[in-house]
């Protein structure tokens, strides 16, 4: 046992800190070398406790060599390593402990699979050149990974890997830089997830995979959070705010998702990045009470089919919101219906009708030529039933034209004087436009010459207007 190890052994019963240097050791200086075996033995109960003191292992500036293996062990004492260089990856898999702190350390990875900690686990300030493993870990006092640098050993490996991770107090991964994917599938963050200022680098791959994650209070991907790669939150649940305020979302591949947040549930979504989202975004089949966003950040492809919400708050115009629901490469009725229902719920019935019109016009582009032509007629004549006044405008214009034409070129009588009413150009035009013989003028007079074509046009147009009005009103009353 060297001098550094003897000092550590002597200080352990009282929990005093052994300082071997205040700078992070870059090399194995003889007076700073501590074998991992000594640390392991002390943590597993080889050292004696001193009455009136709390035994703990606190070490600063050490160069730790050998295998750091505490897998499956029960650790009764606090471990705090500061500014240490750990040569081999610490193994705390399936261990049970109070709290662990690796502050500003450098190591080739960390294995905490199945770890159970009553207190916090902190890796803040550390540089890890390898993978951090936390599958099935249960951390009662919070997870702290602030101001860290983590670099996966290979592009296909996860920088942070977990599945079923449970953190009771809060997970803080702030102002860190992580190269490689972060996997939090099935995690439960009972005190929130806070990733402000953190950069995730995994271009063209998953920067964050948090499918089925449950977060209480808040999930903060904000305050300068940057993801170069896909952020996948599919089927996640946030009982609070899900924030992307002043963040950067860039898939680094236009064909990939920048934010895959389909089937999620959240009380509030703040989708307000610092710049336009680069890549696709999916909110399909999600349920969100409040959405706050801005037209400036919407990507070119946005999937909203099945999304339901109660409130929208945004900086923009009605046309911007119409553009929002039209960015799906495939046409779906539901986004338009949901937006129209929201406008109706806030008392903007006129805007709700405009959304319905936009829906039918968008649908028209996907019909066959015959259906497209008839839809144009419905649009021009009655606005698909949402603007029936158009039919009356057309009717009035045609009635005026007919009255002028038949005043200039009166039709000839086809009935005896005692059997026919007196001719009136306006009434005759009205009789032609109305599909039923209402005033008897059409049966008593017959247009001749060029005015006959005007009469034929009025008759045909009258039928079209009546049919369009009936079809449009039916569509409104029975939209399905």
Give residue 27's pLDDT: 73
User: What is the C-alpha R_g of the chain?
Assistant: 37
Q: Is 470 helix (H, G, I), strand (E, B) or coil?
A: helix
CA within 13 Å, CB half, 221: 23
Query: What is the rounded CA–CA span in Å between residue 106 and residue 64?
Result: 10
Q: Please report the sign of the dihedral spanned by the C-alpha atoms of residue 337, residue 343, residue 348, residue 351.
A: negative
52 Rama class: left (phi>0) / alpha (psi -120 to 50) / beta = left
Positions in the chain whose pLDDT score sits under 70: 47, 49-53, 361-396, 398-399, 414, 416, 418-419, 428, 430, 432-433, 436-444, 460-480
Place of tokens 């680098």: 201
Specify the pairing of strand 17-19 against strand 116-117.
unpaired
Dihedral angle of Cα 425, 427, 430, 432, to the nearest 10 degrees: -70
Model pLDDT, residue 295? 92
User: Do 15 and 53 contact (CB within 8 A), yes or no?
Assistant: yes
Q: What is the pLDDT of residue 477?
A: 41
Q: Give the pLDDT score at 474.
A: 53
- What are the distances in angstroms from CA 335 to CA 126, 194, 237, 288? 46, 31, 21, 14
Q: So what's the pLDDT on residue 478?
A: 46
Contact between 226 and 254 under an 8 Å Cβ cutoff? The reply is no
Backbone φ, ψ for residue 80 (5° rounding): -135, 110
The helix (run of H) or strand (run of E) holding residue 361 is helix 349-364
Q: Report the C-alpha gap between 100 and 121 in whole angstroms.
A: 5
- Across-strand partners of 63? 33, 85
pTM of the model: 0.79
């Amino acid at each position: 046992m060297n001098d550094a190890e003897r000092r550590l052994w002597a200080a352990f019963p009282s929990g005093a800190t052994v300082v071997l240097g205040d700078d992070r050791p870059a090399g194995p200086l003889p007076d700073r070398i501590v074998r991992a075996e000594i640390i392991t033995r002390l943590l597993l109960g080889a050292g004696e406790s001193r009455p009136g003191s709390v035994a703990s292992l606190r070490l600063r500036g050490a160069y730790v060599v050998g295998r750091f293996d505490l897998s499956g062990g029960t650790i009764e004492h606090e471990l705090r390593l500061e500014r240490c260089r750990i040569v081999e990856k610490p193994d705390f898999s399936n261990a049970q402990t109070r709290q662990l702190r690796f502050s500003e350390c450098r190591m080739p990875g960390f294995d905490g699979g199945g770890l159970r900690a009553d207190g916090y686990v902190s890796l803040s300030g550390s540089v890890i050149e390898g993978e951090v493993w936390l599958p099935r870990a249960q951390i009662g006092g919070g997870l702290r990974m602030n101001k860290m640098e983590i670099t996966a050993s290979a592009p296909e490996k996860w920088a942070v890997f977990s599945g079923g991770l449970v953190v009771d107090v809060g997970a803080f991964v702030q102002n860190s830089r992580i190269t490689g994917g972060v996997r939090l599938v099935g995690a439960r963050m009972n005190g929130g997830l806070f990733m402000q200022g953190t950069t995730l680098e995994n271009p063209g791959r998953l920067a964050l995979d948090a499918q089925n994650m449950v977060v209480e209070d808040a999930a903060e991907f904000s305050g300068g959070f940057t993801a170069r790669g896909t952020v996948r939150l599919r089927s996640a649940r946030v009982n609070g705010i899900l924030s992307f305020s002043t963040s950067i979302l860039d898939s680094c591949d236009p064909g990939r998702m920048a934010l895959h947040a389909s089937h999620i549930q959240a009380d509030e979504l703040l989708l307000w990045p610092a710049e336009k989202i680069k890549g696709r975004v999916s909110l399909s089949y999600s349920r969100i009470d409040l959405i706050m966003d801005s037209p400036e950040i919407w990507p070119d492809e946005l999937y909203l089919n099945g999304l339901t919400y109660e409130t929208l708050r945004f900086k923009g115009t009605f046309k911007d919101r119409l553009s929002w629901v039209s960015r799906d490469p495939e046409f779906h009725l539901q986004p338009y219906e949901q937006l129209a229902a929201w406008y109706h719920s806030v008392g903007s019935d006129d805007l709700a009708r405009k959304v319905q019109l936009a829906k039918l016009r968008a649908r028209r582009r996907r019909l066959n030529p015959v259906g497209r032509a008839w839809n144009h007629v419905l649009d021009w004549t009655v606005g698909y039933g949402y603007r029936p006044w158009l039919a009356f405008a057309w009717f009035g214009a045609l009635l005026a034209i007919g009255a002028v034409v038949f005043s200039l070129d009166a039709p000839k009588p086809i009935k005896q004087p005692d059997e026919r009413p007196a001719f009136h150009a306006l009434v005759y035009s009205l009789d032609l436009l109305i599909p039923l013989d209402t005033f008897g003028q059409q049966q008593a007079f017959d247009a001749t010459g060029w005015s006959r074509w005007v009469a034929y046009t009025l008759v045909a147009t009258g039928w079209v207007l009546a049919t369009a009005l009936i079809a449009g009103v039916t569509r409104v009353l029975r939209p399905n």
